[in-house]
């Protein structure tokens, strides 16, 4: 069957250039006589998808010296085009099963155009899971769609689960979504993260504590959760930095401000004087080398003092 309709679905470049790049569905009356026909073609494509491997090569093709290939991704792109044109919610739900096969940049475009906003629980679930996709383009489009939604408590729990990943911009986006929760739900979310066994989730909880630190109407839950921060056992290096910024290292008289100009904001020793060698106009080429040598010597001296 795949070979019989191959000429109908190759090449795919026509759709790739137009299908998932516009924001409004095409007026179907100008491209197909009936929506039923489009849906029927969608089902044909599903059968082709199921009958081939990830990539099929057809040779000869038209002429003995010609060959062509057909991939599942190209078929799903055609299915996505039909779904977009018909704006059929049932097809959108069905296509979610096949979208992982679609090329990354087209998948991101599909989420941004067709699933923004999602119109069913299944579509919402797909967009939510896409927030943790390997592709940053897909994650960005998923976040844009989710930002326009009011997430349920169950969906916020799934956002918390995604904080096990280390993608920096995804973690920022996930935290932004969680920060939109009502006050009581936000407190519960931070508490769950702070007490999680996974360090990456605990770090997210500490980041959220830093966020609410200076928010006046959230001071009650901040104070309520400080004891939870103190109970974190065996924190890693990153956690220690955040914990000390919240509650100090136990030596401060006050915890309102731990990092100041006087203590080098915790990054450097203000008492350490650095005297760079004098550089004359004729020494421009040697300037960078001189600075590196000087800093290297200073660094060695500091390590020797520590020993």
| 8 Å CB contact between 109 and 77 | no
Give the number of C-alpha atoms closer than 13 A to the C-alpha of residue 128, restricted to the C-beta side. Answer: 21
Contact yes or no for 173/139 (Cβ under 8 A):
yes
* CA–CA gap between residue 188 and residue 269 (Å, rounded): 39
pLDDT digits (tens, 9 = 90+) for 186-237: 999 999 999 999 999 999 999 999 999 888 899 999 999 999 999 998 899 9
The partner residues of 55 in beta bridges, in order of sequence, read 71
Query: What is the rounded CA–CA span in Å between residue 296 and residue 274?
Result: 12
- b/e map of 64-93 (b: 16 or more CB within 10 Å)? eeeeeebbbbbbbbbbbbbbbbbebeebbb
pLDDT band at 30 (very low <50, low <70, confident <90, very high): very low
Whole-number Å distance between alpha carbons of 97 and 20: 18
- Provide the pLDDT for residue 65: 87
The model's pTM is 0.70
pLDDT of residue 1: 44
Percent of the chain that is helix, strand, coil (3-state, to 5): 65, 5, 35
Q: In the prediction, which pLDDT does 33 show?
A: 65
**Angle in degrees, CA 161, 207, 218, rounded to 5:** 105
Compute φ and ψ for 168, nearest 5 degrees.
-60, -50
Averaged confidence pLDDT in the chain: 81
pLDDT at 118: 92
CB neighbours of residue 258 within 10 Å:
17
Give percent above pLDDT 70 in the chain: 75
Q: What is the CA radius of gyration of the chain?
A: 28
34-60 pLDDT tens trace: 788 889 999 999 999 999 888 888 888
- Ranking 74-88, 95-109, 234-248, 266-280 by mean pLDDT, the lowest is 266-280
């Amino acid at each position: 069957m795949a070979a019989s309709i191959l000429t109908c679905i190759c090449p795919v470049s026509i759709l790739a250039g137009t299908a998932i790049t516009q924001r409004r569905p095409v007026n179907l009356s100008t491209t197909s006589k009936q929506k039923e026909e489009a849906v029927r073609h969608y089902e044909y494509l599903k059968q082709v998808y199921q009958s081939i491997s990830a990539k099929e090569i057809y040779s000869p093709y038209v002429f003995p010296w010609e060959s062509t290939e057909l991939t599942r991704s190209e078929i799903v792109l055609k299915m996505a085009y039909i779904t977009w044109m018909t704006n059929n919610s049932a097809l959108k739900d069905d296509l979610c099963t096949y979208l992982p096969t679609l090329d990354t940049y087209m998948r991101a475009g599909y989420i941004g155009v067709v699933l923004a906003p999602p119109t069913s629980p299944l579509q919402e679930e797909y967009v939510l899971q896409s927030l943790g996709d390997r592709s940053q383009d897909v994650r960005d489009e998923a976040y844009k769609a989710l930002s326009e939604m009011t997430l349920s408590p169950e969906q916020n729990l799934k956002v918390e689960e995604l904080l096990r990943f280390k993608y920096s911009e995804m973690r920022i986006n996930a935290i932004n979504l969680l920060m939109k929760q009502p006050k009581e739900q936000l407190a519960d979310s931070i508490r769950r993260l702070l007490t999680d066994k996974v360090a990456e989730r605990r770090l997210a909880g500490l980041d959220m504590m830093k966020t609410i630190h200076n928010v006046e109407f959230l001071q009650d839950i901040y104070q309520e959760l400080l004891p939870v921060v103190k109970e974190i056992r065996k924190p890693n290096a990153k956690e220690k930095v955040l914990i000390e910024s919240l509650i100090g290292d136990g030596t401060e008289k006050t915890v309102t401000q731990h990092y100041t100009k006087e203590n080098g904001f915790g990054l450097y020793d203000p008492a350490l004087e650095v005297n760079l060698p004098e550089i004359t106009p004729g020494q421009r080429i040697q300037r960078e080398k001189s600075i590196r040598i000087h800093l290297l010597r200073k660094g060695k001296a500091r390590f020797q003092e520590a020993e």
